[in-house]
């Protein structure tokens, strides 16, 4: 966990886009899997907290497809391919912004 917090703190000064960094935090904490229960919830809270601190809306999944989300996470952990997870998160943030502002895509 100390390494995770050091990684999280280093992300604050990173040149990587905040949405991608939030995804990386989610993946990192899930990879550690430090708790007997609630790892997914805690990981999503870490992601949401980072997004809020960077000025983004909280990542609340609209009509979440748990299977798709789980497959994205599994792919990240098994092949290091983060693209599908990034796409999933960005699409949901776009939905949040559109719903809050009333703007059309």
Residue 17 annotated as catalytic = no
**The pLDDT value given to residue 64:** 64
pLDDT of residue 30: 81
pLDDT averaged per 10 residues in sequence order, the chain, 105 residues: 85 86 86 78 85 80 72 84 84 78 60
* Per-residue pLDDT, 77: 80
CATH architecture of 2-101: Orthogonal Bundle (1.10)
Structure tokens, 9 = 């703190």
Q: Furthest-apart CA pair in the chain: how many Å?
A: 43
Dihedral-angle region of residue 103 (phi above 0 means left; psi in -120 to 50 means alpha; beta otherwise):
beta
Quote the pLDDT of residue 92. 79
What pLDDT is stored for residue 44 in this prediction? 82
- This model's pTM is above 0.75: no
Active-site choice (6, 32, 33, 53): 33
């Amino acid at each position: 966990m100390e390494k995770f917090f050091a990684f999280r703190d280093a992300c604050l000064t990173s040149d990587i886009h905040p949405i991608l960094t939030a995804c990386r935090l989610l993946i990192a904490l899930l990879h550690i899997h430090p708790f007997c229960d609630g790892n997914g919830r805690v990981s999503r809270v870490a992601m949401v907290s980072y997004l809020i601190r960077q000025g983004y809306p909280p990542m609340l999944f609209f009509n979440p497809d748990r299977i798709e989300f789980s497959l994205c996470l599994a792919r990240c952990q098994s092949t290091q391919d983060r693209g599908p997870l990034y796409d999933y998160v960005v699409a949901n943030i776009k939905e949040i912004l559109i719903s809050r502002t009333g703007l059309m895509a």
